Amino acid sequence: MPEGTAYHPPTTSTEWETPDWFFDRLDEEFKFQFDACASQRNTKCEVYIDEGQDCLVYEWSGCQFALLTTAWMNPPWGRGVGKFVHRAYEQSKKHNTVVVCLLPASTDTKWWRDWVWKASEVRFVTSRLHFVCEDGRTGPCPTGACVVVFCPWSNGPPSFSLISGKEG
How many Å separate Cα 22 from the centre of its chain?
Answer: 11
Predicted local distance difference test score (pLDDT) of residue 39: 75
Closest to 100 measured CA to CA, from 119, 114, 113: 119
Predicted TM-score (pTM) of the model is 0.85
Q: Which domains does the chain have, with CATH numbers?
A: 20-163 (3.40.50)
Task: Report DSSP state, residue 52.
Answer: T
Predicted local distance difference test score (pLDDT) of residue 132: 76
User: What order do you get walking across the sheet with 47-48 strand by strand?
Assistant: 47-48, 34-35, 70-73, 98-104, 145-150, 121-125, 159-163
Predicted local distance difference test score (pLDDT) of residue 64: 54
Predicted local distance difference test score (pLDDT) of residue 68: 53
Closest to 68 measured CA to CA, from 32, 104, 102, 39: 32
Mean pLDDT by 10 residues, the chain (168 residues): 37 67 96 87 84 80 60 91 96 92 96 97 94 76 93 95 89
Predicted local distance difference test score (pLDDT) of residue 84: 95
- Measured distance CA(98)–CA(150) in Å, rounded: 6
- The number of residues in the chain equals 168
6 class by beta-carbon count within 10 Å (0-12 exposed, 13-18 middle, 19+ buried):
exposed
